[in-house]
Amino acid sequence: MEHTPAWLINSFIYLSAAVIAVPLSKALGLGTIIGYLAAGMAIGPWGLGLVTNVQDILHFAEFGVVLMLFLVGLELEPRRLWNLRRPIFGWGSLQVLGCAAALTAAAVAFGVEWRIALVAGLGLALSSTAIALQVMDDRNMLPTSSGQAAFAVLLFQDVAAIPILALVPLLGVGLASTDPSTSHGLEIARVLLVIAAIVLGGRLLLRPLFRWIARSHTPEIFTAASLLLVVGIAALMQLVGLSMALGAFLAGVLLAESEYRRELETDIEPFKGLLLGLFFIAVGMSIDFGVLIASPGQMAAIVLGFLLLKGAVIYALSRAMKLPLQDRAVFTLLLAQGGEFAFVVFQAAAGASVFTPQTASLLIGAVTVSMLLSPLLLLAVDKWLLPRFANGPTTTLEEISEPQEAPVLIAGFGRYGQIVTRMLLAEGFPCTVLEHDSDMVEVARNFGNQVFYGDATRLDLLRTAGAAQARVLVVAVDDVEQSLKIVDLAHAHFPNLEIVARARDVTHWNKLRDRNVMLVQRELFESSLRSARSVLELLGHSAHDADTSARRFRKHNLELFEKMHPHYQDRAKLIAVVKEGRQQLEQQMAQERLERKRRSPASPEVAPTDATR
């Protein structure tokens, strides 16, 4: 082992810790972030001591956050970003200034010197972009109103970190004798010049550059160019003291309308995931348990105090923003934790003699502990608080309360339920639509659709929606378990209802058939058949022959599913039935091809170069 390079040993340690801790954390229901943090604590200086160069790893792993912001930027077209300008600079500034003011005032009230209190308040007002965006991605929150609001605030925090870092030296000891106006003017000019260069370069150079690289038809060079772009912009931003993540985000926004957007996402996603994991491992390693052991009471007071104060300000902000009630707790916890920029602010403050290195260590430890607690608190909210919103009477929108009497009841107003509803209404059949996603209900109502807010897995709401009088229940919800629960409730309490259900996949289809639901549609089956028919026509089949083949395949597939259903839990028997059915279909199709050849021997389909020869 003495000749083995250190980087190879460390890589083995990091990957081993992640491979063991993350699946275990997921199995326990704690999520991936807790797994990475636990892995870091286990291998760090206060665990097994396998890795000691924590700061070097943390600086390298921060590039994962940079890549994540680049990918987020790719999802935001410039027009959408412009539409977010008010929440970014409005709500974002209110969050940072409000939290900083509350934390500074509390610290001064406890006798802390005002400069220390101000820097501590500004640093603690910032949140972890990495953890917040990872959690929102896991929960698919980014497209929602709450996710967009949280993202806007986080983006402003990245911008706010720049003036905060510029302010810290001005508060340091001995700076009164210097005249910083000239140097700060140059700094501001340099910052503006770099941002202008990124925007103009992105508009004028990036797309032609990627177009030229794409012509080489060398995928690995395109990947290298993608990484070079992000690394180059991050280095440029770092050079002028700006946030690397902010620069990467701007680059992503400029390429959001590019034809290479999806390819860029595909190339960078694996690197982002690995480096983000390494970042969380490094955060776990950086927890200074020595500070915790030396002053546990003081540490606990700082952590609890700033989480409660910051949480109170952010919750008040969520109410002012009129976020859905069930989203406010998650929104508050996502932003209440400390952030990675606080590390930089407190280290800079110690370097400028605003406060001592011991104070910096204490505050950095408090931020790290808050980052560790945040996923655990979110888990507690998921288990104990959010179920009350799902089952209780309190909701943001008023639940369906007036009894309905439409002949059709539709559960779910997503992409599937919308088409069913529109067709029935066009034919003059009234429908009662239940949807449990408040954002979807608001969007539907904006477009003039009458959609009631309510969870169709609740018996009382089904009764109010008119399930006892309706003739047909359409189960169009996304979630498989909710779908099955609705079917079970309908069979138990409304035997008069005919059920038409959507199946996400084969397993869902079989479970619905187990419940004697006979009218089940697989959500992609019909559209896939139409696409296959189009491909056959492009390959030389006539429209009639392509349609005949598609109808033949459809009939055979539905019959095969009926044969498979009794055996779907017996894998060996199921495979035998599928193979037999496939062989029968191939023989039948081959026979039909021979008949077509006899009918039209000069058809292009039977030309000597045809693949069916």
pLDDT at 268: 78
The band of 611, judged by pLDDT with boundaries at 50, 70 and 90, is: very low
**Cβ-Cβ contacts under 8 Å for 196 (sequence gap 6 or more):** none
Q: How many CB atoms lie within 10 A of CB 227?
A: 14
pLDDT at 304: 92
Give 93-128 pLDDT, tens digit per residue.
899 999 999 999 999 999 888 888 999 999 999 988
- Mean pLDDT score of the chain, rounded to an integer? 79
DSSP SS3 for 435: strand
pLDDT at 255: 75
CA distance 195 to 242: 10
Question: What CATH number was assigned to the domain covering residues 6-46+56-173+243-387?
Answer: 1.20.1530.20
Q: What is the DSSP letter of 384?
A: I
Percent of the chain whose pLDDT exceeds 70: 84
More confident residue, 301 or 385: 301
CA distance 33 to 135: 9
Q: Which amino acid is at 266?
A: T
**CB of 295 closer than 8 Å to CB of 113:** no
pLDDT at 606: 41
CA distance 496 to 279: 57
Q: Could you tell me where the beta strands, DSSP code E, fall in 151-260?
A: none
Answer whether residue 352 shows pLDDT above 50: yes
**CB of 156 closer than 8 Å to CB of 93:** yes
The band of 575, judged by pLDDT with boundaries at 50, 70 and 90, is: confident
pLDDT at 3: 65
The band of 309, judged by pLDDT with boundaries at 50, 70 and 90, is: very high
The band of 571, judged by pLDDT with boundaries at 50, 70 and 90, is: confident
Answer whether residue 233 shows pLDDT above 60: yes
Looking at the DSSP assignment, which residues form a beta bridge with residue 472? 408, 498
More confident residue, 388 or 182: 388
113-127, 213-227, 360-374 — most confident range: 113-127
- Please tell me the least confidently modeled range out of 9-23, 51-65, 232-246, 532-546: 51-65
What's CA 554's distance to the chain center, in Å? 36
The band of 610, judged by pLDDT with boundaries at 50, 70 and 90, is: very low
Give 509-531 pLDDT, tens digit per residue.
888 888 888 888 888 888 888 88
**Half-sphere exposure (Cβ direction) of 323: Cα atoms closer than 13 Å:** 24
- Please tell me the least confidently modeled range out of 140-154, 408-422, 455-469, 513-527: 140-154
CATH superfamily of 408-523: NAD(P)-binding Rossmann-like Domain (3.40.50.720)
Percent of the chain whose pLDDT exceeds 90: 8
pLDDT at 125: 92
The band of 390, judged by pLDDT with boundaries at 50, 70 and 90, is: low
Q: State the residue for tokens 């799902």.
A: 390
Looking at the DSSP assignment, which residues form a beta bridge with residue 434? 411, 452
pLDDT at 104: 93
Q: Which amino acid is at 461?
A: L
Cα distances from 276 to residues 300, 326, 523, 613, in angstroms, run 27, 28, 35, 53
For the chain, the first-to-last Cα distance in angstroms comes to 62
**CB of 99 closer than 8 Å to CB of 313:** yes
Q: What is the DSSP letter of 549?
A: H
Phi and psi at residue 257, to the nearest 5°: -100, 5
More confident residue, 74 or 333: 333
CA distance 522 to 467: 24
Structure-derived torsion over alpha carbons of residues 387, 390, 393, 396, reported in degrees to the nearest 10: 110
DSSP notation for 79-115: HHHHHTHHIIIIIHHHHHHHHHHHHHHHHHHTT--HH
Answer whether residue 328 shows pLDDT above 80: yes
Of 411, 331, 427, 446, nearest to 378 by C-alpha is 331
pLDDT at 449: 72
Query: 379: buried, middle or exposed (CB in 10 Å: 19+, 13-18, 0-12)?
Result: middle
Of 135, 95, 102, 133, nearest to 118 by C-alpha is 102
